[in-house]
Amino acid sequence: MRSTIPKVLHDLAGRPLLAHVLEASGVGSDPPRGLTPYGVRPLGGSDPYAVTVVYGHGGEAVRQHFAGAPLNWALQEPQRGTGHALMQALPFLPEQGTVLVLYGDVPLICADTLRRLVELCQGKHLALLTQTFEDPTGYGRIIRNSAREVTAIREQKDASAHEKTITEINTGIMALPAGQVAGWLKRLSSQNAQNEYYLTDVIALAVQDGVAIHTITPGHAWEALGVNSKTQLAELERIHQGEIAKALMEAGVSLRDPARLDVRGTLTCAQDVTIDVGCVFEGVVTLANNVSIGAHCVIKNCTIGASSNVAPFSHLEGAVVGSNNKIGPYARLRPGTHTADHVHVGNFVEVKNSELGEGTKANHLSYVGDATVGKYVNVGAGTITCNYDGVNKHRTIIEDHVFIGSDTQLVAPVTVGRGATIGAGSTITTSVPADGLTLSRAKQTTLARWKRPVKKS
């Protein structure tokens, strides 16, 4: 990966590779990070089970990222192959049942495929996930006898010329009878080209012990693809995003271009939602009926009400938007923003930690921070709430039906009474009474004999 970050912590769709594998195997995912606790969701039945992560290079960073998750951790040091890795997990494995072996850099494996594998194993058979590739170079080959029964897996470096022509490959993902695992691992040998303990050698041992070996293929060709480079990571990202886009469209969402969508968390859409090109959704986002999202918007951890329109190039984070809102273009809603119904937040308007009442409009070039704004308020262009004195934040309260003229500064803490009008260009430092006109301006003067300077030759 040419990176200081452990491979399994590289992001795919906004989550580490390992988080995708844990989610598929029954441990809850983490969208957004730190906000959703991990939880156990068994693949089959209700029997308790444990998830063990075998870690090595850079593993402490991995442990820290998943701190608090219901995981066992087994250190593999030195790293001497996949069989050696499973040996480290032995103290955490059950005496009976099924042991499911997964890989932290194979993030697109689906829970349905794993469930089929576990059901095939039944705690007494050995179940393998295999696949057929036109070019199987680098993969272990599935060796079968004349009756098409699996007899062994041969790693690429140990395969004969004939065995290298086999196109059925081992994905590495398997389900093993727990009662047999310890005995098989003790019988593994490192006498091979890599001087490692291959987990794949367990297959030949199972044949010797008369354990039935079954195989299935994944539901999708891309499920068992691994990540070993930034190029492969990008390829899997597009596959994953394509599947998300497909699911959204099947649920009724209109995507202007499915290839230009990025969901890095959870996106939930009601009926008749439209999303234009280049949009990024992060964390947990919920869009109600008839919501329209314009091109190139970034929306993170937001709820957007019915029939609201977010115009292009708007950024929303941690906001709750009411119904029939018009947001943007080029608007920014920061965390703590709550808008009621029929609110307008226009171009180059920023709102932070504020409530905007029903029918309120801030159509352009304004900053509303740490404010409580009532109903049907008009915020003129260039208006700002001066909420920070250099040490502390202060709140501005604007009551219903207030009209604020352009280029007004409201120096918090300050309250503007119901129905008040503030003249353009005013700096308000004390509370404003209801209904009247308040303004603060220097007297306008004109110098009749003044002449504009002329540039010297």
- Residues serving a catalytic function are 364
Helix axes 111-121, 17-25, angle to 10 degrees: 50
Q: Taking a C-beta distance cutoff of 8 angstroms, is the pair 421, 405 a contact?
A: yes
Instruction: Compute the radius of gyration of the chain from its Cα atoms.
Output: 31
| Neighbouring C-beta atoms of residue 68, cutoff 10 Å | 8
Beta bridge partners, 339, equal: 321, 356
315 to each of 259, 318, 345, how far by Cα in Å? 21, 10, 12
3-state secondary structure of 71: strand
Q: Is 353 exposed, middle or buried, given 0-12, 13-18 or 19+ CB atoms closer than 10 A?
A: middle
**Nearest of 233, 17, 213 to residue 109 by alpha carbon:** 17
3-state secondary structure of 383: coil
Residue type, 297: C
Phi-psi region of 182 (alpha: psi -120 to 50; beta: other; left: phi over 0): alpha
CA–chain centroid gap for 100, Å, is 25
**Exposure on the CB side of residue 433, measured as CA atoms within 13 A:** 3
Beta bridge partners, 438, equal: 422
Which pair of structure tokens corresponds to residue 313?
A: 């190039």
Q: Taking a C-beta distance cutoff of 8 angstroms, is the pair 433, 451 a contact?
A: no
**Exposure on the CB side of residue 358, measured as CA atoms within 13 A:** 2
Q: Taking a C-beta distance cutoff of 8 angstroms, is the pair 142, 168 a contact?
A: yes
Beta bridge partners, 100, equal: 175
Q: What is the DSSP string of 284-328?
A: EEEE-TT-EE-TT-EEES-EE-TT-EE-TT-EEES-EE-TT-EE-
| Neighbouring C-beta atoms of residue 61, cutoff 10 Å | 15
Tokens 């969402």 locate to: 253
3-state secondary structure of 446: coil
Helix (H) or strand (E) holding 415: strand 414-416
Helix (H) or strand (E) holding 143: strand 141-144
